[in-house]
A and B are shown apart, each in its own frame.
Chain A
């Protein structure tokens, strides 16, 4: 009854949120928010290159994001600049190069706003197929690598000493993030993708006792945000990406109302172990 495009966007968004929730938990636990932003910004370069080489956009974005992750790992090994500075260089230079390339593509009209902030009209049946195919793949990988990923998050030394391979987990995690960015770009937009990873996870923290619970709650909250955001976008005629993020933010603010003494993990924000 809303027309095909809306149900497509809704179904795609729900699939997306279900994947972004659990993955976003790792982004929060491992403090990779800026890293996620960097990969997301490189997505525009992926878009431009895809048009130049006429390959599938989702594939191009995944390729470039994975490449950025790989360069970061290599640059970190050189260790002359801090990770923070390296991310700053990669993030903005890939965005800039992407924008310059888009400027060169005079014979093709690219909806820049659509790629930056998401466009629910842009979700095609193919995209839906990619989201669910890719999403199931990502979730399967996450389940497979859950224990080593979590162990490496708690303590790389411990994971290593007991025969798990933290460096491999880290690479898997980066590839998964590149995949999520690639499949979520059309709906949420380059500039806002990481919020779909971070905000539901941050909201879920206050409601969870175990990592697994946090992943599940985060997925559920993400789905709620997508549904709320897309309906809002439809009725208020706002861009889909920002609308979803605003919905996620509202859920986060609501979670802050949970009284502190009812929180699990007791001590709250400054209750880190010494």
Chain B
């Protein structure tokens, strides 16, 4: 249905895309489309091809097989994974916002205000907390007025309260700007509430659908459920510095979501 009435709103479409590096196939058989105002989340274990798929969407990687269609003139905003800026590079927040293109001071101000970081304008990026830094990166991506916002693990290294606030911000961005959002996530819990379509990857698309469909699907359970709690716990440690004590909080949110 979305396919039909959303045809003119399509931003990107991948049909049967495969990416190979040397002899190794990184991903194959990826069908994926993102429309204006839609949130698509890619989940899957490490090395399952989430980043590779996202790079095909942004055009950084070329598909070795299949078709990629991108709306002509598609503007992409990108929030990278785990950005750490060396102390040797002096960088203020306002300078970071104008990193890839120049903007007028009032535009910078407005972008920072939109993510609730206006007061940080003149701060050095090295002095920001994890959550503040992520907000500034959102402002940096949004000032470009992108059609498509690509978020690579947007809540990594952010504490639990900050995490909830960031998801709130993501939804707000979608609601106010109407841009499409492609999100890569390790996090199987909170993410799913905001998402229209989840693609569960493991070298190929294991299953897809609304968060509820995916959660109920046997493929998803096989990939994430079989070794259940144990696997999940390791998994969470994997992408975070201090998630250990948040596990049961995650569980609570999970319950709320359902």
A154 B126 Cβ-Cβ under 8 A: no
CB A133 to nearest CB in B, in angstroms, measures 30
Given the interface contacts A161-B58, A266-B124, does A210 sit within 8 Å of B91 by beta carbon? yes
Given the interface contacts A272-B126, A274-B130, does A158 sit within 8 Å of B83 by beta carbon? yes
Given the interface contacts A153-B89, A155-B80, A266-B124, does A273 sit within 8 Å of B133 by beta carbon? yes
**Contact code string B71-93 (vs A, CB < 8 Å = 1, else 0):** 00000111011011111111110
Count B-side interface residues using an 8 Å CB cutoff.
Answer: 36
Q: Is A164 an interface residue when CB atoms closer than 8 A count as contact? A: yes
Contacts of A205 in B (CB 8 A): 87-88, 90
Contacts of A3 in B (CB 8 A): none
Given the interface contacts A159-B100, A267-B126, A274-B130, does A210 sit within 8 Å of B90 by beta carbon? yes
Q: Is B234 an interface residue when CB atoms closer than 8 A count as contact? A: no
Interface residues of A in 250-264 (CB under 8 A from B): 264
Q: Is B49 an interface residue when CB atoms closer than 8 A count as contact? A: no
B127 A266 Cβ-Cβ under 8 A: yes
Q: Is A160 an interface residue when CB atoms closer than 8 A count as contact? A: yes
CB B201 to nearest CB in A, in angstroms, measures 19
Q: How far is it, in angstroms, between the C-alpha of A209 and the C-alpha of B92 when the chains are bound?
A: 7
Contacts of B91 in A (CB 8 A): 154, 210-211
Q: Is B144 an interface residue when CB atoms closer than 8 A count as contact? A: yes
Q: How far is it, in angstroms, between the C-alpha of A236 and the C-alpha of B89 when the chains are bound?
A: 37
Q: Is A132 an interface residue when CB atoms closer than 8 A count as contact? A: no
Q: Is A265 an interface residue when CB atoms closer than 8 A count as contact? A: yes
Given the interface contacts A162-B144, A205-B88, A211-B89, does A273 sit within 8 Å of B100 by beta carbon? no
Q: How far is it, in angstroms, between the C-alpha of A235 and the C-alpha of B77 when the chains are bound?
A: 58
Q: Is B27 an interface residue when CB atoms closer than 8 A count as contact? A: no
B125 A210 Cβ-Cβ under 8 A: no
A150 B99 Cβ-Cβ under 8 A: yes
Q: How far is it, in angstroms, between the C-alpha of A28 and the C-alpha of B102 when the chains are bound?
A: 24
CB A83 to nearest CB in B, in angstroms, measures 17
Q: How far is it, in angstroms, between the C-alpha of A201 and the C-alpha of B150 when the chains are bound?
A: 35
Contacts of A159 in B (CB 8 A): 100
B87 A269 Cβ-Cβ under 8 A: yes
Contacts of B127 in A (CB 8 A): 265-267, 271
Tally of A-B residue pairs with Cβ under 8 A? 102
A154 B144 Cβ-Cβ under 8 A: no
Contacts of A92 in B (CB 8 A): none
B78 A158 Cβ-Cβ under 8 A: yes
Q: Is A214 an interface residue when CB atoms closer than 8 A count as contact? A: yes
Q: How far is it, in angstroms, between the C-alpha of A213 and the C-alpha of B92 when the chains are bound?
A: 12
The chain A residue with its CB closest to the CB of B90 is: A208
Task: Choose among A160, A163, A164, A265 the residue that contacts B124 (Cβ–Cβ < 8 A).
Answer: A265
Q: Is B65 an interface residue when CB atoms closer than 8 A count as contact? A: no
Interface residues of A in 42-81 (CB under 8 A from B): none
CB B94 to nearest CB in A, in angstroms, measures 9
Q: How far is it, in angstroms, between the C-alpha of A15 and the C-alpha of B128 when the chains are bound?
A: 38
B90 A265 Cβ-Cβ under 8 A: yes
Contacts of B85 in A (CB 8 A): 154, 272-273
The chain A residue with its CB closest to the CB of B79 is: A158
B90 A162 Cβ-Cβ under 8 A: no
Q: How far is it, in angstroms, between the C-alpha of A100 and the C-alpha of B193 when the chains are bound?
A: 69
CB B203 to nearest CB in A, in angstroms, measures 21
CB B252 to nearest CB in A, in angstroms, measures 26
Interface residues of B in 201-258 (CB under 8 A from A): 241
Q: How far is it, in angstroms, between the C-alpha of A213 and the C-alpha of B88 when the chains are bound?
A: 13
Contacts of A161 in B (CB 8 A): 55, 58, 60, 76, 78, 80, 150
Known: A205-B88, A268-B87, A273-B128. 19 other contacts (CB 8 A): A28-B88, A29-B86, A147-B101, A151-B99, A157-B80, A158-B80, A159-B100, A160-B58, A162-B144, A163-B76, A202-B88, A210-B92, A265-B87, A266-B127, A269-B87, A273-B84, A273-B85, A274-B130, A274-B241
The 4 closest A-B pairs by CB, nearest first: A161-B78, A265-B124, A161-B58, A208-B90
Give me the interface of A with B, judged by CB distance under 8 Å.
28-29, 31, 147, 150-151, 153-155, 157-164, 202, 205, 208-211, 213-214, 264-274
Instruction: Jot down 21 A-B pairs with beta carbons below 8 A, ordered by A.
Output: A147-B99, A150-B99, A154-B83, A157-B60, A157-B78, A158-B83, A159-B100, A161-B55, A163-B76, A211-B89, A211-B90, A211-B95, A213-B90, A264-B90, A264-B124, A266-B124, A267-B126, A267-B127, A271-B87, A272-B86, A273-B128
